Amino acid sequence: MKATDYIILFKTLLIGSVGGVIALYLSFPAPFLMGPAIAVTFSCLMGIKLQISSKLRDVSFIFIGMSMGSSATPEVIETAKQWPSSFIILAISLYLIMLLGAWSMRRFFHFSAKSSILASTPGHLSFVIALSDDLKSDTKVIALIQSVRILFLTLLIPSILIWMDLSLPENNFIPQIMHIKWIIILGILAAILGYGLKKYKLPAAYLIAGMLASTLPHITGVVEGVLPTWIIIPCFIIMGSLIGTRFSDVKLSELKKNHYPKYLLFSIIIPYSGYSFFLCL
């Protein structure tokens, strides 16, 4: 990297960090992911050149994958065994929502097959964006639809719970933090595995490697705990900033021309219709 590249990278991370802090203050869902994405996007639309290096992206993917894998604990597996029918219904419902969303995007917005599936897939935003980035799909549109869906679901769920005479659960659980020794060991294993997976051109290789390296030790009880916030927050800021940089060289005048308002409306409709369908089952 040249000196100018480091300056651009520093500006990108600075703008992303400020966006994350503002989003946290405004109580946005996933503030350190959505905040940087919004801040960097607007900066790019204003003509500021911003970028995230591929090496820094891969490092953040490793730790985000490790964070995802750390949720696979023996307790989670035991709980899942107690509610098999619920998980089956949920899986079928999400599959139908994804098929309906993907078909609608191809039919009405002329999305490619890859982009339509990624934009309509419910689940982990960072994983979807990582796949989109490596598969050379339209990451900026996918990020827009997925981010707005998360925002509106965050607003929708409390309303549904109130309507059903329920309340949000209190989260008094303080997670155990993974020991630094295991963070280093699993990080090195994930980096080696990710390098090998990338050689075979697997999309989101480093994120998948982080998941694999973390899932097995956690699910067997060998390793316990989650990644500390001082690791995971910077990784989410990098990921959110990466999403925003996909709007580089895009002008404000092009947004209407490229049907972004329609994408925005569609990203609102899907969570309402999809979750209404699920509730009726």
- Contacts (Cβ under 8 Å, ≥6 apart) of 25: none
pLDDT at 9 (0 to 100): 94
243/238 Cα distance (integer angstroms): 9
Q: Report which DSSP code applies to 239.
A: H
Which tokens belong to 78?
A: 């035991």
pLDDT at 116 (0 to 100): 81
Specify which residues 177 forms β-bridges with.
Answer: 226
118/204 Cα distance (integer angstroms): 13
Name the residue type at position 207. L
Which tokens belong to 204?
A: 């989101």
C-alpha pair distances (Å), 165 with each of 158, 159, 168, 204: 11, 10, 10, 41
pLDDT by residue for the chain (281 residues), tens only, comes to 788 889 999 999 999 999 999 999 988 877 898 899 889 988 988 888 899 998 999 999 999 999 989 988 877 777 777 777 777 887 787 788 788 878 877 887 778 888 888 877 776 677 787 778 777 777 777 777 776 666 666 556 656 666 666 555 555 566 789 999 999 999 999 999 999 998 888 888 899 999 999 998 998 888 989 999 999 999 999 988 988 887 776 666 655 555 555 555 555 555 444 444 444 44
128/118 Cα distance (integer angstroms): 6
Where are the chain's structural domains? 3-280
Residue labelled with tokens 């020991």: 179
Phi and psi dihedrals of 177, rounded to 5?
A: -90, 135
**135 exposure class (CB count in 10 Å sphere: 0-12, 13-18, 19+):** middle
- CB 96, CB 276: distance < 8 Å: no
264/257 Cα distance (integer angstroms): 14
The H or E element spanning position 183 is helix 180-199
- Contacts (Cβ under 8 Å, ≥6 apart) of 129: 139, 142, 143, 146, 239, 242, 243
Q: Would you put residue 192 in left (φ > 0), alpha (ψ -120 to 50) or beta?
A: alpha
Residue length, the chain?
281
pLDDT at 135 (0 to 100): 75
Which long-range CB contacts under 8 A does 71-74 form with residues at least 24 apart?
A: 71/218, 71/226, 72/214, 72/215, 72/218, 72/219, 73/218, 73/219, 73/221, 73/224, 74/219, 74/220, 74/221
Name the residue type at position 262. K
Cα 196 off chain centre by:
23
